[in-house]
Chains A and B, each alone.
Chain A
Amino acid sequence: MDAIKTIDLTKRYKDLTAVDGLNLTVRQGELLSLLGVNGAGKTTTIKMLTGLTRPTSGDAYLLGKSILTDSAAVKNMIAVSPQETAVAPNLTVWENLELMAGVHGFTKSEAGDRAAELGGRFSLSEVANKRAGKLSGGWQRRLSIAMALISDPQILFLDEPTLGLDVLARGELWDMIRALKGRMTVILTTHYMEEAEALSDRVAIMKSGRLLLTGTPAEIKRHAGTDKFDEAFVRVVKEAAQ
């Protein structure tokens, strides 16, 4: 079964079509990067897939469950780490993890166990009792991803996970994301081409709400006739504009 299958997924806002008849399939365990310039429709696509926005037409199936008719089941199998660092600032790192476990229905002891496991895996123990709002950007982003993983989701959405981080923090997060590959399906949006190339099994390039091309980074480069991935991306987008 495919992890995600969208069928003519469309979102219109008055006279703007944000996503236009998207047909995309993501395999289980795959890490797919959604790429596109601003306004390409990446965020709207993720919002529809995660139940934040209802499509104008079309549908999407996450592990066979429709986002239109079975949104409760969909919410039980997904997790999102939003673009901005979405943590509760006055709660400690530990309390943030326990909160996310709690809202997913874990008991108090299960929530403690999950927090301990994720805290260990993401090396959060040293800041466990610090308030999340006092952490640096890199630590907050790390916590944000750990919060997304606490429910052990089958599909994880990472929206610009390394935006604004320094090289070291970005490298650490890349390692964490790599460690997730194969264990769950990951949908990543990013503006960093080197990030998409380094992490993705496949890449989907969008422009003006339409899907232009999908393929492995190597296939995208071959298609564009260049050995540089960022150049290949620009060529594909410009080609579509013409």
Chain B
Amino acid sequence: MKVFAFSKRNDLEILRDPLNLFFGVGFPIVLLLLLTVIQRNIPVALFEIEHLAPGIVVFGLSFMTLFSATLIAKDRGSSFLQRLYTTPLTAGDFILGYLLPIMPISAAQSAICFAVAVLLGLNVTVHILTSVLLTIPVALLFVSLGLLCGSIFTDKQVGGICGALLTNLTAWLSGIWFDLELVGGAFQKIANFLPFLHAVEMERAALRGDYAGVFPHIWWVIGYAAAVTAIAVFAFLRQMRRQ
């Protein structure tokens, strides 16, 4: 009950911020619509809906870092978190309370993106469901990044780092907007070493029903998600002790 009360509050704080709704749902849908129109006028294989939709889903999830980090950093900056630290909530309750509520928001965001993609011509198959399920480790990765950034940075710093830097990194290094093989070299190697490209490739493979193609990308995503979650928990506990 304690952790649910806290996570419900976090859910409401996020969902009642109109900017969050715009960036979380509106912006990815606008991108889907815009790029689909471009694709119809100037056909580009990369922007075909079955190729584009998984990329936009992953890009949309990168905003979960911003939501999560902003909430935590704002709480840290006010007395609100200090007040809660004097209640019977445990460290585990705080971590779960910040991580859990954003997971259903992420799932809903992915489902909405795929629903819009269906309206734009994506075939309705069971693979859409698999793709939505596979967003769970991707969402965990981004939400944990939010816990990490929110535990380290102020809310103003979070705006720049998560709102600008991370979303751009996700966009540029994930092969959503251009084929990374065309760039090659160090850029491609860096992209291969980071989880964003693997998240998109995993989603694309799942959506076309190529479940063997989900591997090894899923291991990259799960590995990064586990590592970032562990570091984020450590960072949160550290700032909690410092408070």
Contact = CB atoms under 8 A, between A and B. Distances in A.
Contacts of B1: 102, 105-108
Nearest to A78: B86
Interface string A154-166: 0000000000000
A89 B9 CA distance: 10
A236 B231 CA distance: 50
Contacts of B17: 90
B86 A80 contact: yes
A90 B13 contact: yes
Contacts of A78: 86
A50 B79 CA distance: 14
Contacts of B6: 99, 102-103
Interface in A180-219: none
A99 B5 CA distance: 6
Given A50-B86, A90-B17, A91-B13, A98 B79 contact: no
B84 interface: yes
A87 interface: yes
Interface size class of B (residues with CB under 8 A): 20 to 34
Contact of A88 (B13, B85, B88): B13
A52 B82 contact: yes
Nearest to A96: B9
B243 A52 contact: yes
Interface string A73-95: 00110111111111111110001
Contacts of A147: 83
A105 B6 CA distance: 11
B80 A86 contact: yes
A11 B2 CA distance: 31
Interface in B12-71: 12-13, 16-17
A75 B86 contact: yes
B193 interface: no
Interface string B145-169: 0000000000000000000000000
B16 A103 contact: no
A29 interface: no
A104 interface: yes
A85 B85 CA distance: 15
